[in-house]
Amino acid sequence: MQALIEIERLNLFYGSFQALKNVNMKIPEKAITAFIGPSGCGKSTLLRSLNRMNDMIQGTNIEGSIKISGTDIYGKDVDVETLRKKVGMVFQQPNPFPKSIYDNVAYGPRLHGIKSRQKLDEIVETSLRGAALWNEAKDHLKRSALSLSGGQQQRLCIARALAVEPDILLMDEATSALDPISTLKIEELAQELKDKYTIVMVTHNMHQAARVSNQTVFFLNGEVIEYADTEKLFSNPEDKRTEDYISGRFG
Ligand SMILES: Nc1ncnc2c1ncn2[C@@H]1O[C@H](COP(=O)(O)OP(=O)(O)OP(=O)(O)O)[C@@H](O)[C@H]1O
Ligand SMILES: [Mg+2]
């Protein structure tokens, strides 16, 4: 498999606190990579580094490099808006805008200058279909997004991310606020989306990582302890600490 994201010797500091320590990793294209590990080990920090969301946090310092398709995303010429268009993100709590379903999905494309009603209609339909929400939403596109259930709102947030045609989708515990059925729907959706997108997901749910991902990375205290094919990592981990964690002995 082709590596889309290459992380080399990455150190990240919040002030004097080092949250990531010498992280090296290649993330393959069109596959699902899961980040697991106990609370506070740096999973979200690394995820946010991939679309420079950490730029917004004062006092953050980063060393080393992250390349996407060969380009250092922390390089001088990088336009952060364009980067975030290419690297979409879905959060733990569904966070639709207090606008209609339609306007939520059309928001990004409009921001990027698309004005044609017909074009926007197309994007809204394709994105909602892509997020497995079209059938439930197509007759209520003018309704407030806040009228949707939590699971539907999360799929709407995925549709909103897809609407700007990203290459990469980052999901930070995107199902942890959802009921089991909505969770399964999002997991199935992720499986479908990986044919077109590269997905990196943080999860506390070991079963989810094992069910859904192709590669799993285990973190501890800001370090990558083990990175392997998911099947291998869960059936035959190399490191004792990985084994302890996946068997529920800590974290
Ligand atoms: N904005 C910040 N300022 C200072 N320290 C931070 C900030 N964000 C995170 N940290 C610290 O960096 C470390 C890693 O945090 P991070 O949020 O990446 O962990 P995580 O693995 O995602 O944890 P969780 O599973 O609880 O979400 C933690 O010790 C945390 O307290
Ligand atoms: Mg986190």
pLDDT digits (tens, 9 = 90+) for 36-87: 999 999 999 999 999 999 998 999 999 999 999 999 999 999 999 999 999 9
Residue nearest to atom 20 of ligand 1 (CA): 40
Distances (CA, A) of 237 to 104, 167, 221, 251: 42, 30, 18, 17
* CA gap 120, 238 in Å, rounded: 49
Strands 168-172, 3-14: parallel, antiparallel or unpaired by DSSP?
Answer: unpaired
Which of 14, 57, 217, 218 best tests ligand 1's pocket when mutated (most atoms within 8 Å of CB)?
Answer: 14
What's the rounded Cα separation, in Å, for the pair 235 and 232? 5
Q: Is the pLDDT of residue 233 over 80?
A: yes
**pLDDT class of 26 with cuts at 50, 70, 90:** very high
Ligand 1 atom with least separation from CA of 15: 4
Q: Is 113 exposed, middle or buried (0-12, 13-18, 19+ CB in 10 A)?
A: exposed
**How far, in Å, CA of 75 to CA of 249, rounded?**
41
Asked whether the beta carbons of 124 and 205 are under 8 A apart, the reply is no
Residue reference for tokens 């004062």: 58
CA 147 – CA 141 distance, rounded (Å) = 11
